Structure 1
Amino acid sequence: MTEITIQLTPWQAERSQYYRPNTPLPPRADNDIPEILSPAGNYEKLKAAVLYGADAVYLAAHQFGLRAFAGNFAKEELAEAIDYAHRHGVRVYVTINILAHPSDIDQLPPIVEYVDHCGADGVIVSDPGIFRIVKQYAPDIDVNISTQASVTNQEACNFWYEAGARRIILARELSLKEIAVIRQNIPPDMTLEGFVHGAMCMAWSGRCLLSNIATGRDANRGACAQPCRWSYHVTETGRLKDAEDGTGEPFTWQVEQDETGSFMFSSRDICMIDHIPALINAGINSFKIEGRMKGAYYVGIVTKTYRQAVDTWVREGDAMQVRPEWREELMSMVHRDYDTGFYFNHPLEDAKIAKNRARNIQATVVAIALEMVDKDRLRCEQRNKLMVGEEVEFVTPHGENFSMEVTDLFDEDGEHVMSCPHPQQIFEMTLPEGKVVEAGSFIRRRGKKHGEM
């Protein structure tokens, strides 16, 4: 994403005053207001998270995070990313959450020291061995215990607190009632983080070996091939007979959910936008959005939606009403069937298995807004082909969305053109009278629902 000027949220502006190079930012003073924690799989997604209202981001260096294919940050990029976030009042947590093998150990100390040198606000770990290395080589950095550590009770929280951790990313199998019990029985300065939106793993707290078995790629070292999302055809050939008396030849009995196969390993996506007060009242201090492998558009839209929801709760309290446009935005993302995870159901009561592939309404981002160049002219950077006569919608970081028909387009020389077909092409478009579009806004073309012609 091209460099743009960012309008900070009040929370971001408050913390940006404490910016110092290579120095962590202070946490927000009021832990009763939950943190919006967004994924930052690369620099473009980091900028989208910051622009659209995140309080904090989580990301990985080039090694030892559980999303090896997310893009991540090389050594020099990591320092730049942390500095960028801090200048805008956004905290940064670096994932070092693999389950380490002996060959990993010697490589860990220099990475831990460098992350600390860059001023990261914390590291996310699951392996007790890595925890020990962090405490040895960066004793002052905050340590957040990953969901991979499967923390499911207050005694486990207290164990990690006594070891020096100050945040627990709770196991996804916990209900809100169980989380409330945990909250009441741990030190008040220990914070709790929970997933509120995005994909869920079918394995207990993400501890899966299916990828290792199917492809040889180690999910617990960041290389998951996601075979749980593949379609399967299940057959039973050993016991069923083609004669009622059981004397006939075995025949194949095929189990399919639909014509594309069965998805018995694939979890539904979590979406908690309807339950903000319940999450807060249970004692969750940080609302985590899944999605380091997803695009900047996803990061921006989901971050903005949960930012608006939390800010509404700050103003209106538990009586807040869920805005229809929040649901509409989240439904517009490519997603599997939404669910509330295990916050209200035990895994044995409802396994949360998806019934089909990711689908629903899609929107295609055609451009990113760069700057207003005249009272009614907007300069943009192309993302997908755009043509005169198309209906587009503007999604702004802080304002309300609006739609318009594209009446004219201009190339960099100011010449009229009928389309902008070239990747990252700079162009201008005329806006309706009185409309001003914030830099960094997404310009999208709405798609069709799954199955529509």
Structure 2
Amino acid sequence: MGTLTKRKYTGNRYRLDKPELLAPAGNLEKLKFAIHYGADAVYIGGQHYGLRSNADNFSFEEMKEGVEFAKKYGAKVFVATNIYAHNEDIEGIEAYLRKLHEVGISAIIAADPAIIQVARKAVPELEVHLSTQQSTLNWQAVKFWKEEGLPRVVLGRETSMDEIAEIKEHVDIEIEAFIHGAMCSSFSGRCVLSNHFTDRDSNRGGCCQSCRWKYDLFEDARPSAVWVSEEEARDNRVLEQFNLGVNQLPLYDEQDNPFSMGSKDLCMIEHIPDLIDAGVDSFKVEGRMKSIHYVATVINVYRQAIDSYMADPDNYVLKPEWIEEINKAANRPLNTGFFYDTPDHEDHIYEPEEKAVPYDFAGLVLDYDPETRLATIQQRNHFKPGQQVEFFGPGGTFFKQTVGKLWDEEGNELDAARHPLQPVKMIVDQPVSYFDMMRKRK
């Protein structure tokens, strides 16, 4: 993983000496994979006050274990406390924040001024990073939050590259920006569709992602159907005409694709120099509810790109294999969000999604004997002899091979690795290391 970033003054600018790579971690296992594959810091959710109530959120015991693991690698752990609180949410916040500090959390990510104020007064040693939910887009707003004592602002996803550079010119503060992952169709995630459709509050952690649903569009009304009196409506024939005109006349034919509001996903792997030159201090990857394969693959690629640029900026070259790797973890088509222009109809998904070839996380390397080339693989998905697989690991380890013979721990030959978490042994074509991953095409 990357070296621990430290704050310093560069000229008259306050920034990290190397961009921080900030990874999502939906549970303890994902936290360990994210750090092992190169994250400088991870952000997680606790069991209260976060916007991912459906994730496998952390208990305090799990947080403590995660912090201890992170420290071994020089990494940090942040906790999202980014809901917009209602009155009933206020009680207990102070005790919760004190407990976060006690278990070693480095910072919270907050949007509600009430939570920010409680944290600043009750636990001043606990850093507060301003959440993207505050929709901060200009340098004067950033300056306000700096004067409130916050060391870092997570900008709204609607901020452009030029605006980021202008913010950094005016305010000496750390800037965190989303550089990869899902985008929201609503302004900075401020949406109430989920509330209306499912009674799940988007801004208190319950978003059902209703923008990703498929919809039919219907004609609003016909003049002949609108002006129906109550008396006429009692007539079944007129009522049937009314229902047909308003409720049952779709604007699309059956063979047409349903409508959705889903936006394409963000990907900035091709623009690392621009992000660094603009002054982004923390590169944030979205995806606390994404798979281990997604987290490991994406973090591994950005780690290599950042390190390559920092080692020799003048001779930095974007490697095609990085883009290929990103596409193997892509859930949706990709774009650059608001960084260079305002997204239009081409940046939304109206047709069936053109997904990249999907891959499954098939196995985790537990051990490797260089003399026999025998690797012990923990099964994570069914695989068998004759299948094509890929091995990859931190720092660019990558090769393809065909699965040969498989054995269990007692040396019995297997026709397949069928059982979840079963340790199996196989000959590998190239050296592998602990925590390397094996994947297969679905």
TM over 0.5: yes
Note if contact 2:293-2:360 (Cα within 8 Å) is conserved in structure 1: no
Quote how far apart the aligned CAs of 1:121 are: 1.3
For the pair 1:114 / 2:87, whether they are aligned, the reply is no
Query: Match for residue 383 of structure 1?
Result: 380
Q: Aligned equivalents of 1:103 and 1:302: distance in 2?
A: 38
Question: CA distance change for structure 1 residues 357 and 34 in 2, over 3 Å: closer, same or farther?
Answer: farther
Query: Match for residue 22 of structure 1?
Result: none
For the pair 1:70 / 2:55, whether they are aligned, the reply is yes
Question: CA distance change for structure 1 residues 112 and 425 in 2, over 3 Å: closer, same or farther?
Answer: same
Query: Match for residue 79 of structure 2?
Result: 94
For the pair 1:443 / 2:438, whether they are aligned, the reply is yes
Residue deviations 1:193-246 (CA, integer Å, cap 9, x gap): 1111110111111111111011000110111111111111112242599xxxxx
1:115-154 alignment runs, 5 A limit: 115-154=100-139
Query: Match for residue 310 of structure 1?
Result: 306
Q: Aligned equivalents of 1:45 and 1:62: distance in 2?
A: 17
1:196 to 179, 186, 209: 179
Note if contact 2:2-2:40 (Cα within 8 Å) is conserved in structure 1: no
Equivalent residue pairs, number: 416
Q: Secondary structure at the match of 2:439?
A: strand
Note if contact 1:336-1:356 (Cα within 8 Å) is conserved in structure 2: no
Query: Match for residue 332 of structure 2?
Result: 336
1:58 to 43, 47, 59: 43
The one-letter code matched in structure 2 to 1:279 is L
Question: CA distance change for structure 1 residues 322 and 239 in 2, over 3 Å: closer, same or farther?
Answer: farther
Note if contact 2:32-2:66 (Cα within 8 Å) is conserved in structure 1: no
Question: CA distance change for structure 1 residues 277 and 32 in 2, over 3 Å: closer, same or farther?
Answer: farther
For the pair 1:43 / 2:43, whether they are aligned, the reply is no
Quote how far apart the aligned CAs of 1:88 are: 1.5
Question: CA distance change for structure 1 residues 84 and 256 in 2, over 3 Å: closer, same or farther?
Answer: farther
1:24-423 alignment runs, 5 A limit: 31-187=16-172, 190-239=173-222, 252-255=249-252, 259-263=256-260, 265-317=261-313, 319-346=315-342, 352-358=347-353, 359-373=355-369, 375=371, 376-423=373-420
Question: CA distance change for structure 1 residues 378 and 155 in 2, over 3 Å: closer, same or farther?
Answer: same
The one-letter code matched in structure 2 to 1:425 is Q
Quote how far apart the aligned CAs of 1:286 are: 0.6
Question: CA distance change for structure 1 residues 350 and 404 in 2, over 3 Å: closer, same or farther?
Answer: same
Note if contact 1:236-1:253 (Cα within 8 Å) is conserved in structure 2: yes
Q: Secondary structure at the match of 2:327?
A: helix
Note if contact 2:182-2:266 (Cα within 8 Å) is conserved in structure 1: yes
Q: Secondary structure at the match of 2:312?
A: helix
Larger Rg: 2
Quote how far apart the aligned CAs of 1:185 are: 0.6
Q: Aligned equivalents of 1:307 and 1:166: distance in 2?
A: 24
Quote how far apart the aligned CAs of 1:129 are: 0.5
Residue deviations 1:168-204 (CA, integer Å, cap 9, x gap): 00011111111111111112xx100111111011111
Question: CA distance change for structure 1 residues 442 and 258 in 2, over 3 Å: closer, same or farther?
Answer: farther
The one-letter code matched in structure 2 to 1:132 is Q
Query: Match for residue 3 of structure 1?
Result: none
Note if contact 1:257-1:355 (Cα within 8 Å) is conserved in structure 2: no
Quote how far apart the aligned CAs of 1:408 are: 0.7
Q: Aligned equivalents of 2:107 and 2:426: distance in 1?
A: 43
Uncovered stretches (5+) of structure 2, i.e. residues with no partner: 10-14, 225-243
Q: Give 1 or 2: higher helix fraction.
A: 2
Query: Match for residue 21 of structure 1?
Result: none
Question: CA distance change for structure 1 residues 195 and 385 in 2, over 3 Å: closer, same or farther?
Answer: same
The one-letter code matched in structure 2 to 1:353 is H
Quote how far apart the aligned CAs of 1:296 are: 1.1
Question: CA distance change for structure 1 residues 319 and 442 in 2, over 3 Å: closer, same or farther?
Answer: same
Deviates more, 1:351-360 or 1:436-445: 351-360
Residue deviations 1:354-392 (CA, integer Å, cap 9, x gap): 234552210112111111145210011101111111111
Q: Aligned equivalents of 1:38 and 1:198: distance in 2?
A: 11
The one-letter code matched in structure 1 to 2:275 is L
Q: Aligned equivalents of 1:35 and 1:28: distance in 2?
A: 13
Q: Give the alignment's TM-score, normalised by structure 2.
A: 0.89
Q: Secondary structure at the match of 1:387?
A: coil
Residue deviations 1:304-357 (CA, integer Å, cap 9, x gap): 00011111111231552211101101111242110100011135x568322345
Q: Aligned equivalents of 1:389 and 1:74: distance in 2?
A: 42
Uncovered stretches (5+) of structure 1, i.e. residues with no partner: 1-8, 16-25, 242-248, 448-453
Question: CA distance change for structure 1 residues 351 and 201 in 2, over 3 Å: closer, same or farther?
Answer: farther
